Structure 1
């Protein structure tokens, strides 16, 4: 009973496709597992991170009908790294379009990091469509959370050498607002400067999401194909405060009452620290909050993964 759970064995999607959601965007989607099983939608992080095969393996394929998709501009969705018509509320309605495509009235919603933000925005907008919520590394898009990552004195205090690499592409006179400074570069015409900035932005994320240094994670995040989408889309959302009013998701948490939920939160998560998960627990007392004492941010860390798979097993019946 004390052995930690891991991913389910590798499976291939039984069906894949592209869904035209308007505004020039087409979303890559895949269905895996049991077509007659419990429906669940997986919401990846970033924003802009895209999906990977391991995401579908957090669910028992015998019990779940698993929808994984790439959000606007991310992964295999097109147009690549596009910022046009790419907001939280576009994505919320995209999820509804996907639900209608799958042909289910209600489903479980599972999201980590930015995916937790999007899960909450969707569930508070369409609570009648949500059977359960499983969240990891809660990010409520409060200004203090954004400042923790992108202003000196937050995560920079823990990773000073990583912070120096992060600010390096920005002129010293522009570092008072790094999100705005990066936005100018990432949306500019200098392609070489854009790539340098994208890799620095994404490398900073790789530094903060790992509990222990991981060369593989850093290599993944700084791959140009990953870095451009992550940096441009993530920066776009940060610059626009996620199109959320300050405290909006906490204020709307009363809409979640009656929806069973589990939060899996790493105690040492330096990307999305536990304070936001604790605030959500206080606003939504019915949710079960599991703080993993040896966990960081990534879903693949043993304690975090154990908590997530146990939650999906429980809700899978």
Structure 2
């Protein structure tokens, strides 16, 4: 496979500070909007490299040029036009809301964590004139009740909840948008109900494999954030540091609420301190909120201890054929410490038909400028495809 560097308007030899790098995938080229039969390209930026430029044929730039011309700015803040609570089991009730255009194309936002809940800013990724925007809080997160409850709380319960919500709102099919754990659940849901999904935007890929959990919670990421790691580590006695996930599980499920809160704060702060390429104080402060931290930490830990309730480590990758036809964009921060790029890369290799966008100057959070821009543009691309189909 030949690698090529694509300049804008550059001399044949120079010192690069920012350069588009394209890795063509061998699929017959037909139209830049096609997923299963169109040429797809890995696009990212390479910085500070000296290299002689070899121009790439202009027709290979079509998809990238189209993508760069799309709106990449967040939409203004809007308020929901309807909200409610849906009882999904004898124990659980989930919060939902709708905003944007009531007659628009439905899109469901799947939040991260698990246990993170939604926020009003999540609505801003979508054109409110075009999209019917559905947000919901997963079991025991956000406004859903009971709070921080682990009973009847599995990936399969959440998938059923998404379907119950779709049916409750009388939506035949919808676009799926999810980042971090939201990408995990989006993949699992779409693989279970591929006929209900019109397109997907995935960010900060998390496949819930052992090596991903070990990287972030058992000392791998500590090599990059030793200062943030030490408070997380030091809450656990040396005798229990053989598995931090298990040690935290014991404390997050303690009979003593103070022990639960202390563990929840440490767990949450560790993640919030590593979620951005540059520290974000507002994000870090979430770790001081006991109400938020308890749900976030308890539910995350519960899912990780139970390996996502998946039957195998490679479960999501093994079922890509079920969703290969769905028009999808994958957005990944190059320096994502929480969900390192190895997972996005593995997904890209298994699913080369999906657009793969690597943001060179970003970490994990959807709120980092480069990631935000790519997410909005990905929604705009799907919007245009849907509009063109209707013409």
**1:306 aligned residue:** 373
Whether the 8 Å contact between 1:6 and 1:302 is mirrored in structure 2 is no
Matched, 1:182 2:248: yes
**2:300 aligned residue:** 234
- Taking the TM superposition and a 5 Å limit, the aligned residue runs for 1:36-185 are 36-152=103-219, 154-185=220-251
Counterpart CA distance in 2 for 1:156 and 1:3 is 38
Q: CA deviation at 1:161?
A: 1.4
Q: CA deviation at 1:4?
A: 7.7
Counterpart CA distance in 1 for 2:88 and 2:173 is 20
**2:309 aligned residue:** 243
Whether the 8 Å contact between 1:117 and 1:139 is mirrored in structure 2 is yes
- Who wins on radius of gyration, i.e. which is larger? 2
1:55-88 per-residue CA deviation (whole Å, 9 max, x = no partner) reads 0110000000010000001000000000010010
Q: CA deviation at 1:5?
A: 2.4
Instruction: Give the TM-score normalised by the residue count of structure 2.
Output: 0.79
Whether the 8 Å contact between 1:138 and 1:272 is mirrored in structure 2 is yes
Whether the 8 Å contact between 1:254 and 1:283 is mirrored in structure 2 is no
Counterpart CA distance in 1 for 2:237 and 2:71 is 46
Whether the 8 Å contact between 1:27 and 1:69 is mirrored in structure 2 is yes
Counterpart CA distance in 2 for 1:4 and 1:36 is 22
1:1-56 per-residue CA deviation (whole Å, 9 max, x = no partner) reads 67982321010000000000004100000000101111100000000000000101
Unaligned runs of 5+ in 2: 1-67, 385-391
Instruction: Give the TM-score normalised by the residue count of structure 1.
Output: 0.98
Q: CA deviation at 1:169?
A: 1.5
C-alpha RMSD of the superposition: 1.2
Q: CA deviation at 1:102?
A: 1.5
Whether the 8 Å contact between 2:71 and 2:380 is mirrored in structure 1 is no
Q: How many equivalent pairs are there?
A: 316
Unaligned runs of 5+ in 1: none
Counterpart CA distance in 1 for 2:95 and 2:194 is 25
Could you tell me which of 88, 98, 109 is aligned with 1:21? 88
Match of 2:319, SS? helix
Whether the 8 Å contact between 1:4 and 1:302 is mirrored in structure 2 is no
**2:319 aligned residue:** 252
Whether the 8 Å contact between 1:209 and 1:297 is mirrored in structure 2 is yes
Counterpart CA distance in 1 for 2:308 and 2:264 is 19
Whether the 8 Å contact between 2:272 and 2:284 is mirrored in structure 1 is yes
Counterpart CA distance in 2 for 1:205 and 1:221 is 9
Could you tell me which of 346, 352, 367 is aligned with 1:285? 352
